[in-house]
Every structure is written in C-alpha cells, then in structure tokens.
A and B are shown apart, each in its own frame.
Chain A
Amino acid sequence: KNEVEQSPQNLTAQEGEFITINCSYSVGISALHWLQQHPGGGIVSLFMLSSGKKKHGRLIATINIQEKHSSLHITASHPRDSAVYICAVIYGNKLVFGAGTILRVKS
C-alpha cells in the first residue's frame, strides 16, 4: 500500500463547478506538494505546504497535519484546468507521490 492515497482517481466536472481533490498520507511529513501534469506531459509545481492554507488564483490548497490530509480546490473550473493533479509528500529524505487524479472539465 502506497503511503499516499489520492481520491478520486478520475473526476469529470462541468465548467464552473467547484472541484475538490483529496490526498491522504500515512506517515509524518515535513512538506506536501501539489503538482499539475498537463495533457501534453509537462509538470508544474502548484503548491508546497507544511501547514494551513495557500491560495493562488482559483486554486486553493489546504493541509491538516493531525488528520494527515490535504485537499486541492479549484473554484470556477474551466476546461483548461483539465490535467492530472498529483500529490507528493516529503518525510525524512524521501519523496513519495500519489497516483494522481485525472480531471476533465467539460464546457
């Protein structure tokens, strides 16, 4: 069993919907990253968190260290948000990725 579990695996939404992607982990971490992989394959770092909440444009990331859980929210979703969203946790000198959530936003 992977130390990092993401849900849902696949998500289809209508344009404008509020989207939540979840990441749960089983180890004590020092940081958590959210990444976006575009359909063309390129990977972009979205957020790095160790506590609380961060916001960038329509994206919001939260983390609850006690519950070992993080969420990525997308407000007013748009077809260009269609991508794979990947959670990664850092503990010790290790970096472990979740399997990713495939998001498709339909217009």
Chain B
Amino acid sequence: DTAVSQTPKYLVTQMGNDKSIKCEQNLGHDTMYWYKQDSKKFLKIMFSYNNKELIINETVPNRFSPKSPDKAHLNLHINSLELGDSAVYFCASSQSGLGLNEQFFGPGTRLTVL
C-alpha cells in the first residue's frame, strides 16, 4: 500500500497552461506539505496544511494554489505555467506539524514546461 501517492508522475505542458497535481495520503496524518525541488536539486517548502487549514505559505507566486478537500488530500493547482515552474514537486505528510514528526514523501511529480 502506497503511503503518500502523487499523480501524475510526469507532466509535460506548454507555457500558459493551467495544471493540477494531486496528492493523497493513507496514513491518517493531520499535516500535508508541498515542496519544490529545482534543477539544482535544492528543496524548498511551498505550503503546509494542517487538518485542511493552511499553516505555511512561503513566498510562492499566487499562480500556485493549494487545495485540501479533506485531510487526506492536498492538491496543487498552477495557473499560467511559466518555464521557471519546471521542477520536481514533492508532496509529504506527517502526524502533526513541523517539529519532531517524521515526514513521509510521495514519489514526486516531474513538471516540464515547454
């Protein structure tokens, strides 16, 4: 059973398009996260939701909008895609918020914007 799953695994799209990445966790965790890993493999947190409530919202263009329909799902919608959005996006979850809680990562979604 996959603990944290993301779809799609690969996403290739044109500049200007709108796309979504879905994330689901079956661990019963309260907190979910979105991370971006750039071409230099540098990881950066984008958002965190705790029980469907936004608790971390780093400096991210407002073209990126997270949506959490329930605490097991945290989707990432991106409007008007730009070349610089090309990256690997990881979803993760933890029992509760940041701190001494182990995070479980999804397999990543490689987004390529042409």
Contacts and interface: CB of A to CB of B under 8 A. Distances in A.
A and B interact physically: yes
Interface of A: 30-31, 33, 37, 41-45, 48-50, 84, 86, 88, 90, 93-95, 97, 99-100
A56 B108 CA distance: 26
Contacts of A43: 90, 92, 105, 108
Nearest to A102: B41
Contact of A31 (B40, B45, B56, B98): B98
B107 A41 contact: yes
A82 B98 CA distance: 27
What band does the interface of chain B fall in when counting residues whose beta carbon is under 8 Å from A? 20 to 34
B102 A45 contact: yes
A41 B108 CA distance: 8
Contacts of B100: 31, 48-50
13 contacts: A41-B107, A42-B105, A42-B107, A43-B105, A45-B102, A48-B102, A49-B100, A88-B43, A93-B98, A95-B45, A95-B98, A97-B42, A99-B41
Interface in B76-114: 88, 90, 92, 98-105, 107-108
Contact of A99 (B42, B88, B99, B103): B42
Contacts, number: 51
Nearest to B58: A94
B63 interface: no
A35 B59 CA distance: 23
A37 B42 CA distance: 12
Given A84-B41, A99-B42, A100-B41, A90 B107 contact: no
B55 interface: yes
Contacts of B56: 93-95
B98 A45 contact: no
Interface in B36-84: 40-45, 55-56
